[in-house]
Amino acid sequence: MIKKIESHSLRDYLVKEKNLQNENGIADAVREIIHEVKGSGNEALLKFINKYEEKKLRCIDEVLFNQDFLEDKFNSLNDKDRNMLLYMADRIDKFHNNDIRLFKEFEDDTVEKYGYFLRPIDKVGLYAPGGKAQYPSSVLMTGVLAKLAGVNEITVMFPGKIDDLNLMFAASHLIGAKSVLNSGGAHTLAAVAFGTETIERVDKIFGPGNNYVSEAKRQLYGEVGIDSLNGPSEVAIIVDENSSIEYAAKDFLAQAEHGEDSRCFLIHLPGFDLNQFKESLKKNLSKSKRKKIINEALKNCCSIEASSLKNAISLSNLIIPEHLEILIDDIDLNKMPVIRAGAIFIGTEASAVMGDYCAGPSHVIPTGGQGRFSSQVSLNDFYIKTSYIVTSKNSYKKNGYKTLLDESINIAESEGLWEHANALKERDN
């Protein structure tokens, strides 16, 4: 059901797996899609939606929805669903609300003032996966932050059948989306990156998706900004002899049901009953409504035995998982080695599923080891930071202003940029 990986072989296993993912021809296919959508706009977008999403559209307006439509969908929800979305949005807002200082100013003995200010990105595109399920949580995880930041225009994108997406449309209303494009894949990202006859281009794209979506974001970066390259969802779960086998098994399956390419790692310490864990997996899987997806995903999943908690952390740090669960109580983070993961859930009652929904932090998290250089989406990602300095004749009264000029002139001349030096010499009077 799941593979057993020896701890000393984990690094080689991860490298081999990465190489296999890179040999699937996705890059070339995405490049062709982007090129065609850039050149032909709605015509190409319509063709790819019909081809890849099994629709029979005659015009793009059939999948492009405005604010009135979104408001109607929100108002049509029953109280339970409406309150569910409001609660989730409130939890996300609460976590991020104090995350940003929009303006900071300093004074020193060199210039009059210097500092920075933040301004919201003007237009963003928020992608949410679909097809196998609907994910209003993904709309809220990025959209609440966009609204909180003061983004001017929000375009939401997700695939799926319109009749199955009421929660997605309602969540889009809740975040103040200007429009929703009911399509997915590389063709949709290309459309919002370049704009078409009826779709406005955006400045930055956020949100998780499949390998085609991730590759499209990679190729479109520079034309638009992106949050990160989110690939297949993943979790690493660290357990010891006191951890609940049933919790670990159910969390394992919860992650696996995201898609056939999901990856799950069980890192178990001595004393944990691996055989009983596997039995629990089988028992719970037999009752699952998403058995087919999970069965495929489990082929990508494995168990690894660790000699100690410190060793378990070291193994997890090789993976740098999107989600890391440490189902062990009394963990003192200050006494732990550095932990490298997108999001961490600690304690016997913790679960990555809490992070998927209502804990508060964003569930848009780097995958595939990218946590070594990037972070989960935060409010900061929706701003552009601009620095400034203020100098005038009053600056000559500052003790350090003359030094600032002299040292800058020296650096300019050492680099051979003589006009840089001359521009400052003119002020040195």
Cα separation values, 240 from 29, 198, 228, 414, Å: 44, 56, 33, 60
Q: Return the pLDDT at 17.
A: 79
CATH assignment of the domain containing 323: 3.40.50.1980
Range of the domain at 111: 26-227+379-383
In a domain, 127, yes or no: yes
The token pair that represents 315 in the structure block:
């193994």
The whole-model pTM stands at 0.89
- Specify the DSSP element, H or E, that contains 35: helix 26-40
Residues 404 and 357 in one domain: no
Residues 212 and 65 in one domain: yes
Cα separation values, 335 from 310, 331, 414, Å: 10, 8, 47
Q: Return the pLDDT at 20.
A: 64
Q: Return the pLDDT at 134.
A: 84
In a domain, 120, yes or no: yes
Residues 170 and 70 in one domain: yes
Q: Return the pLDDT at 366.
A: 86
Q: Check if 322 is active-site.
A: yes
Q: Check if 257 is active-site.
A: no
Q: Return the pLDDT at 203.
A: 98
Q: Which of 215, 323, 325, 363 is catalytic?
A: 323
Q: Return the pLDDT at 191.
A: 98
Q: Which of 53, 322, 325, 363 is catalytic?
A: 322
Averages of pLDDT over runs of 10 residues in the chain (429 residues) are: 87 80 79 97 96 92 96 97 95 84 81 90 94 86 95 96 93 97 96 97 93 93 92 92 96 92 94 95 93 92 95 95 94 86 94 90 86 89 94 87 93 97 90
Cα separation values, 266 from 6, 120, 175, 281, Å: 12, 40, 36, 12
In a domain, 18, yes or no: no
Cα(164)–Cα(374) distance, rounded to whole angstroms?
34
Residues 242 and 220 in one domain: no
Q: How many domains does the chain have?
A: 3
Residues 215 and 255 in one domain: no
Residue appearing with tokens 């969390």? 251
Residues 106 and 238 in one domain: no
Residues 243 and 350 in one domain: yes
Q: Return the pLDDT at 428.
A: 83
